[in-house]
Structure 1
Amino acid sequence: MANNYGYIRVSTKDQNEQRQLHKMMERGVKARRIFVDRASGKNFERPQYQLLRKVLNEGDIVYMDALDRMGRNYDEVIAEWKYITRELKADIIVLENESLFDSRKFREMGDMGRLLEDQFLSLLSYVADQERKKIHQRQAEGIAVAKSQGKHLGRPQINLSNLSKNQRRIIEENHPKWRNGDITGVMLMEMLELKKNTFYKIMKEYEE
């Protein structure tokens, strides 16, 4: 008997898990057959995805919210799509664009459907690759402009001037104790919530 499954991938910053779960369950997918990974989509080394692959059988259907929930490397996405639909003979339905991403429609068309599916997936890969190149180009251009304007890239540097009032008060009250050996540097670092290198840099700045 064929089963319906759901696959959900959320990044650590993504809070859309419940929305995706609701969509799957609206389609009648039972909670125990919904696989959830909390990981990036850069590759397919995800425990729940790999488990899903192992339980799929011929005639099963996998629902996912959007194609990028499957993965972001589209060459690998295409390889996985073909593995599931052709080797395992299961089907994939992408809810975001069901009219295009429903492998059952291609299957029903026989050899012609397979040819159309290949062309469609190749076009998808090309478009995705071009989009990745555009994103990287925009990022490179943005970095170049920022550098030309003298802007600092990366995390802001912590120094004495941008410490909080509470941190400056702690330094004023405890600097003499630290210098006299009444408290250790580690204790003062913890009080200030600073890392070792930043702590000694700020202490030097304070003493100057």
Structure 2
Amino acid sequence: MKKNYGYARVSSKEQNLDRQIEALTNYGINERDIITDKQSGKDFNRTGYVTLKNQLLRSGDTLVIKELDRLGRNMDMIKKEWQELQENRINIIVLDTPLLNTEGKSDLEKKLISNIVFELLSYMAEKERIKIKERQAEGIKKAKEKGKHLGRPKAKYPKLWEMYYFQWKSGQITAKECMEQLDLKRTTFYKLAKDYESKLIK
């Protein structure tokens, strides 16, 4: 006998599953057949989903989710899960996007829907990349407008820099002695010296 299962997920324990569960029960899924996860972190260990996929779902069963992104935390993961479900002949119903529903569809129609899913995911991924670039550009622009220095913070000259610098340059002390007096590491010392000299030339 073919079964319908619902899956609901939130990415942190503080978030609420009620909205998803309500949508699934309204569709007709028995609450005992709704598997849930409240998982976060880089490992993304979804014990509920893994159990559902490996132990409960059988060929011909239907998985109902509220939104496509419940299948994974990024585009590649969603695509992988969709492919695996299709290979195992599991029907998929996405309540918020009925166009993607595969239940009752022929193999040709399912292939077409998979193509739509992958195109949609590619579009969403590209849109997200553009959004990130726009945010970065906006952040850089705002920082420049406020006169903030971008990149590594500029090294500050220590007290008595000029005195010891000119003693070093006139040969009164060695570079090593100069570094010790100013408590500077070799790379920092020469970086400051180069920067200071470029200012003197201007």
Q: Which TM class, normalised by the smaller chain length?
A: 0.5 to 0.7
State the one-letter code of the partner of 1:125.
L
CA spacing shift, 1:41–1:125, aligned 2, 3 Å: farther
- Unmatched runs of 5 consecutive residues or more in structure 1: 153-208
Counterpart of 1:109 in structure 2: which amino acid?
A: S
> Number of matched residues?
147
Specify the code of the residue in structure 1 equivalent to 2:23.
K
The aligned residue for residue 144 of structure 1 is: 140
* Partner residue, 1:102: 101
- In the alignment, residue 143 of structure 1 is paired with which amino acid? G
Question: Which amino acid is 2:120 matched to?
Answer: L
Change (3 A) 1:130 1:40: farther
Match of 2:182 in 1: none
Instruction: Call closer, same or farther: CA 1:34–1:41 in 2, change over 3 Å.
Output: farther
AA matched with 1:140: Q
Q: Any gaps of 5 or more consecutive residues in structure 2? A: 149-202
Structure with the larger helix share: 1
User: What is the SS of the residue equivalent to 1:89?
Assistant: coil
CA RMSD of aligned residues (A): 2.5
| Range with bigger deviation, 26-35 or 41-50 | 41-50
Q: Decide whether the 8 Å contact of 1:56 with 1:90 is kept in 2.
A: yes
1:64-99 Cα shifts (integer Å, max 9, x gaps):
11111222422221221121122x21111000011x
Q: How many Å separate the matches in 2 of 1:13 and 1:142? A: 32
Partner residue of 1:65? 66
Give the letter for the 1:70 counterpart: L
Between the aligned residues of both structures, percent identity stands at 29
Report the TM-score, using the length of structure 1 for normalisation.
Answer: 0.62
Report if the CA contact (8 A) 2:3-2:61 is conserved.
Answer: yes
Aligned match of 2:18: 18
Higher CA-based Rg: 2
**Which TM-score applies when normalising by structure 2?**
0.63
Which residue of the partner structure matches residue 81 of structure 1? 82
